[in-house]
């Protein structure tokens, strides 16, 4: 376990440093929170009219404002049905995600027993256990923040802060949904037991129930922040970020910690909160 944790720490720092060092500095006046290879304002040439810098595409974040940002995010998140859906906005993605989730819930009793009874993923499950993937999710924002802090790279440091903000947002959402739905985890059901009628059945701690997947919602929230911040400069970043998040989500199914519907909804919510709440325009 400790070897894996050390390896994850090293990989987090190395991968983050690689993204940072790959940025080509442009010979221009760059703002403190602009990507290193995207000049925020080119110096005006003699005799030319100086053009004002474009407004920032994302909200600002700092160590002082991150707590207030989370509070604002939570307000927007929980008032979404009133402020958005009630006015006819965003109905299509809401209906699509709800419909797919409902379909997967209906299929869970038919597809999940296979993962409950098979030993085909024992090696994969050992390498992507819950503790290892949790450590990886938490280390990623910390790695960006520390590398940016030590390198005096404001953009990288704020990427870590935004990823931490996204983690806080989705963790609150996830815990509330778990407490309300109290769905049984697949591991709570005998291998040949009844995988239907799993909602409102969990006993003990209601915040450790199954719906949605906390690993999936957290992994996709962090991946969305990284992809949104670096995807335009490096097209491979979204593939790596979402690929890793997808593997983490799949591991929750093979480990029998969650149903496929739990993982899908977690991934969709993690993406939506990070993309439209944390990374929204100011």
pLDDT tens, residue by residue, 159-197: 999 999 999 999 999 999 999 999 999 999 988 888 998
Q: Cβ–Cβ contacts within 10 Å for residue 204, how many? A: 9
Report the alpha-carbon distance of residue 61 to residue 8 in Å, rounded: 26
Is residue 99 domain-resident?
yes
Alpha carbons within 13 A on the beta-carbon side of 220 = 23
* Confidence check: pLDDT of 282 > 60: yes
For the cut 70, the answer to whether the pLDDT of residue 152 exceeds it is yes
pLDDT the model gives residue 203: 86
Q: How confident is the model at residue 33 (pLDDT cuts 50, 70, 90)?
A: low
For residue 131, the enclosing domain spans 58-278
pLDDT given at position 35: 61
Question: For 37-88, what is each residue's pLDDT tens digit?
Answer: 554 434 444 444 444 444 556 778 999 999 999 999 999 999 999 999 999 9
Residue 2: inside a domain, yes or no?
no
179 in a domain, yes or no? yes
Rounded Cα–Cα distance for residues 259 and 104 (Å): 9
Q: Which pLDDT tens digit goes with each residue over 206-215?
A: 888 999 999 9
pLDDT score of 144: 97
Sign of the Cα torsion 19, 238, 245, 154 reads positive
Domain contains 45: no
DSSP string, 155-210: HHHHHHHHHHHHHHHHHHHHHHHHHHH-PPPGGGS-TTS--SS-TT---S-GGGSS
**CA torsion, ordered 8, 13, 14, 17, to nearest 10 deg:** 160
Angle between helix 66-78 and helix 154-181 axes, rounded to 10 deg: 40
CA distance 229 to 97: 25
Q: Is residue 265 part of a domain?
A: yes
Within 8 A by CB and 6+ apart from 70, the residues are 165, 168, 169
Q: What is the mean pLDDT of residues 125-148?
A: 96
Q: Give me the pLDDT at residue 193, please.
A: 87
Q: Looking at the domain assignment, is residue 29 inside a domain?
A: no
Q: pLDDT at residue 9 above 70?
A: no
Q: Region 240-253: what's the mean pLDDT?
A: 97
Residue in 64, 51, 49, 56 with CA at minimum distance from that of residue 31: 56
* Rounded Cα–Cα distance for residues 171 and 187 (Å): 22
Provide the token pair at 229: 């911040």
**Res 168: pLDDT:** 97
Average pLDDT, the chain: 84
**Backbone angles phi and psi of 41, in degrees to 5:** -155, 115
Q: How far apart are the first and last CA of the chain?
A: 42
Q: Is residue 17 part of a domain?
A: no
Residue 36 has pLDDT above 90, yes or no: no
Residue 102 within any structural domain of the chain:
yes
Work out how many domains the chain is built from and give that number.
1
Copy the structure tokens of residue 254: 């093979």
Per-residue pLDDT at 281: 79
């Amino acid at each position: 376990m400790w070897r894996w944790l050390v390896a994850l720490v090293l990989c987090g720092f190395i991968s983050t440093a690689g993204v940072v060092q790959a940025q080509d500095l442009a010979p221009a006046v760059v703002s403190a929170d602009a990507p290193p290879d995207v000049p925020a304002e080119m110096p005006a040439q003699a005799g030319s009219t100086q053009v004002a810098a474009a407004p920032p595409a994302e909200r600002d974040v700092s160590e002082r404002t991150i707590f207030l940002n989370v509070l604002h995010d939570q307000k927007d998140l929980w008032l979404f049905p009133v402020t958005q859906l009630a006015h006819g906005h965003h109905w299509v993605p809401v209906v699509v995600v709800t419909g797919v989730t409902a379909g997967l819930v209906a299929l869970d009793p038919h597809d999940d027993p296979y993962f409950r009874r098979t030993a085909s993923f024992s090696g994969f499950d050992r390498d992507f256990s819950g503790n290892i993937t949790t450590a990886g999710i938490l280390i990623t924002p910390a790695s960006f923040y520390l590398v940016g802090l030590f390198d005096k790279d404001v953009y990288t440091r704020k990427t870590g802060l935004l990823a931490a903000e996204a983690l806080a947002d989705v963790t609150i959402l996830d815990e509330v949904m778990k407490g309300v739905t109290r769905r049984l985890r697949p591991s709570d059901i005998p291998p040949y037991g009844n995988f239907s009628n799993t909602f409102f059945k969990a006993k003990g701690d209601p915040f450790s129930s199954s719906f949605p997947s906390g690993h999936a919602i957290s992994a996709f929230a962090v991946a969305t922040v990284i992809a949104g911040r670096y995807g335009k400069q490096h097209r491979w970043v979204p593939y790596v970020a979402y690929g890793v998040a997808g593997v983490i989500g799949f591991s929750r199914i093979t480990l029998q910690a969650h149903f496929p519907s739990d993982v899908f909804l977690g991934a969709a919510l993690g993406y939506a909160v990070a993309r439209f709440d944390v990374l929204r325009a100011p």
